[in-house]
């Protein structure tokens, strides 16, 4: 175990939560920017639709924050719960937003430096797991930006959270 000679706060827990939720708010606006038919049907180069990517993000975020907070992990279930409805997808999005706000503060002190088996499958330290959740969303949302541009739609500004 590595010794921390000092305990500088690079980013506080509240800041990290706000950072994550800021990204999720932007992703929500990207979902909203898609015409419903393109959200569920458009893709490039054999990739997944943005709805399927968003379903993956939902499968990770809610169960993921619970796993970080409680150490109870289920297998990933990436099934798209929205049944072809953008409104339904956004409803699930908002439900997850509330779950994150509820469970994130319950992540115990030191937890992000512990090694864990996320979703019973991915072994890593807590902070790597959490950053993976966020980074993976940024990654796929960036792909959604290309879909929107290819559809002739201006995406929301990346820097507005």
The reply to whether 121 sits near a second copy by the rule CB under 8 A is no
Q: Provide the β-strand partners of residue 117.
A: 123
The reply to whether 13 sits near a second copy by the rule CB under 8 A is yes
The least distance separating a second copy from the CB of residue 8, rounded to whole angstroms, comes to 5
List the one residue out of 91, 97, 80, 100 whose CA is nearest residue 25. 97
Pick 40 or 50: Cβ nearer a second copy = 50
CA distance 20 to 13: 11
Query: Looking only at residues 74 through 93 of this chain, which bind a second copy when binding is defined by CB under 8 A?
Result: none
CA distance 75 to 57: 14
What does the per-residue mask of binding to a second copy show for 20-59, with x meaning CB under 8 A?
A: ---x--------------------xxxx------------
CA distance 122 to 140: 19
The neighbour count for residue 53, using CB atoms within 10 Å, is: 25
The reply to whether 127 sits near a second copy by the rule CB under 8 A is yes
Which tokens hold the place of 34?
């898609």
Return residues touching a second copy (CB under 8 A). 2, 4, 6-13, 15-16, 19, 23, 44-47, 109-110, 112-113, 127-128, 131-132, 135-136, 138-143, 145-152, 158-159
């Amino acid at each position: 175990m590595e010794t921390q000679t000092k305990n500088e706060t690079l980013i506080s827990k509240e800041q990290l939560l706000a950072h994550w939720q800021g990204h999720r708010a932007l992703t929500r606006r990207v979902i909203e920017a898609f015409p419903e038919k393109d959200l569920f049907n458009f893709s490039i180069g054999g990739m997944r639709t943005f709805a399927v990517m968003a379903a993956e993000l939902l499968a990770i975020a809610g169960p993921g924050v619970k796993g970080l907070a409680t150490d109870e992990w289920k297998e990933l279930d990436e099934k798209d719960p929205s049944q072809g409805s953008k409104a339904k997808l956004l409803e699930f999005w908002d439900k997850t937003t509330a779950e994150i706000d509820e469970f994130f503060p319950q992540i115990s002190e030191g937890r992000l430096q512990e090694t864990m088996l996320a979703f019973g499958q991915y072994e890593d330290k807590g902070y790597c797991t959490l950053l993976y959740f966020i980074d993976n969303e940024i990654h796929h949302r960036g792909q959604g930006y290309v879909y929107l541009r290819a559809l002739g739609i201006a995406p929301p500004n990346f820097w507005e959270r």
